[in-house]
Structure 1
Amino acid sequence: MSHARFAIYHLPDGPLADMGSAWLGWDARQGMAPPRPDVAEVAGDAGALTSVPMRYGFHATLKAPFRLREGHDVQDLARRTALVCDQLAPFALELELRCDWGFVMLRPCVQTPALQALEQALVTRLDDLRAPLTPAEYARRQPELLPERARAHLDHWGYPFVLDQFNYHLTLSNGLPKPEAEALRDALAPTFAPLIAQPMQVHSVALLAEEGDGRMRMIREFPLRG
């Protein structure tokens, strides 16, 4: 099967992953739609609140979706991703439930040097495999609205929020008006608080492909072996 785009994500595992995937309505690792949980405190339809992040599953972006440059295939991408991961060690992140930019999300209390090194290596060392953005892809990023540094990253790396602009986040909602986002955060807190009481282990990254239905599915996972 041919794929339009590939991405490198961190996919949490264990009970946190199960709940995050169920809440969003898509499990990218299993390539299936799990039953949505009944979160009594949530006002509104979960599907309507999560329609955008649902397509990508419960994930944090490390290298944003991209098309492969002509002359390269998914085997090249997998081999190169494995080489990066062979040199980087596992680590842990302490998470908190937040409401930022109108999105409910889980974010690290601190972006550790190990996390920053992982993102930087994947962004920079795989970029020769990435096809340049088409004019339409570039325009969709609304470069005229980006800060200068983010626009420079878009021009160079094909995505604005990388390197010094990178923020690890596990998105749990569509963009919402601030009062609605804050209410949803508070409603989800009792469900997610026990799942993030201990630091989350980051011991692998995943290669995913976007299929014809627009949803991301995992192709392969790569352990951090450093």
Structure 2
Amino acid sequence: MTEVRPRYALYYAPRPDEGLATTAAQWLGWNPEGGRTRRLALSVGFAPDRLAEITAEPRRYGFHGTLKPPMALTDDVSEADFLAAVGAFSVKLKPVTVPSIVLAGLSQFLALIPAERCVELHDLADRCVVEFDAFRRPAGEAELARRRAAGLSPRQEELLVRWGYPYVLEEWRFHLTLTGRIVDAGEREAVKTLLGQRFSSFVDRPLEIRDLCVFRQSAPDRPFTVLARFRLGGGRLVSTEVWRAS
């Protein structure tokens, strides 16, 4: 029997008291901070079942922006070791301000993305990928095959082999995913209009990256939840159990 290992990821996620976190949890029907399910808000023109389908994939991961993709830990590293390393790493960093975010379509799904490339954000993601690669259990053949099935460029293949994921470093693009793939262009545009209304308070405005979050997935069929958050440059662990605004 294959051993089930939890997966860990380094993500940006808004703090629970921020409007973006509340709006995203209402849209996805899931709050990864504490692992709480929420009833999807009804929307004129969309059946509840269809909205649940559209949001199923991002709901499983929780509202976030990936900095270090999900990974299992090596045999000689414990969860406590990993958290301690993330905490020590976060002390050396500074908060990042993305000047503006916009709602956009990416490969048939919809997400909030930076309006322009943010050098400081790219640097943060690159450092997360490189710094914590020693903690990563190498990807198995099944996972590598699944990634390759999507069709990778030669450079993406190199990144997959070296870092366990094809969309890192120069191939990385920060995005806060709001839907799964929506094949029908007309439906996708309608959903984009709805999202534009729901997230109007956050579009064309700055995004403050204040924390480095550790998300955990206990098993492949389980959703990701926030295990801990570390203030960038603050040095104090803020956990989901004893979270305090600052």
Fold shared, TM-score > 0.5 on shorter chain:
yes
Match of 1:129 among 135, 147, 159: 135
Structure 1 residue ranges without an equivalent (≥5) = none
Amino acid at match of 1:73: S
Q: In the TM superposition, what is the alpha-carbon distance from 1:38 to its structure 2 partner? A: 2.5
Paired residue type of 1:104: L
1:17 equivalent to 2:17? Answer no
Cα distance in 2, alignment partners of residues 211 and 22 from structure 1: 23
**Residues 41 and 86 (structure 1), Cα distance of their counterparts in 2 relative to 1, 3 Å cut:** farther
Q: AA paired with 1:29?
A: E
Gaps of 5+ in 2: 235-246
Residue 90 of structure 1: aligned partner: 95
- Partner of 2:174: helix, strand, or coil? coil
Residue 55 of structure 2: aligned partner: 50
- Aligned-partner SS, 1:168: coil
Query: Do 1:3 and 1:209's aligned partners in 2 also have CA atoms closer than 8 Å?
Result: no
Cα displacement (A) at 1:40: 2.8
| Map 1:161-200 → 2, pairs under 5 A | 161-179=167-185, 180-200=187-207
Separation of aligned partners in 1, 2:33 and 2:120: 23
Report the 3-state secondary structure (helix = DSSP H, G, I; strand = E; otherwise coil) of the residue aligned with 1:55: helix
Tell whether 2:219 aligns with 1:217.
no
| Distance in 2 of aligned mates of 1:41 and 1:64 | 35
Q: Is 2:41 aligned against 1:34?
A: no
Instruction: Please give the TM-score of this superposition, normalised by the length of structure 1.
Output: 0.93
For the Cα contact (< 8 Å) 1:205–1:223, is it kept in 2?
yes
CA distance in 2, matches of 1:27, 1:190: 20
- Quote the residue 1:5 is aligned against: 7
Q: Percent identity?
A: 29
| Structure 1 residue 119 displacement after superposition | 0.3
Change (3 A) 1:169 1:144: closer
Aligned residues: 225
Contact map agreement 2:101 2:202 (CA 8 A) in 1: no
Structure 1 equivalent of residue 108 of structure 2: 102
User: Counterpart in 1 of 2:154?
Assistant: 148
TM-score, L = length of structure 2: 0.86
4+ residue runs over 4 A deviation: 41-44
Contact conserved, 2:25 with 2:31, CA < 8 A, in 1? yes
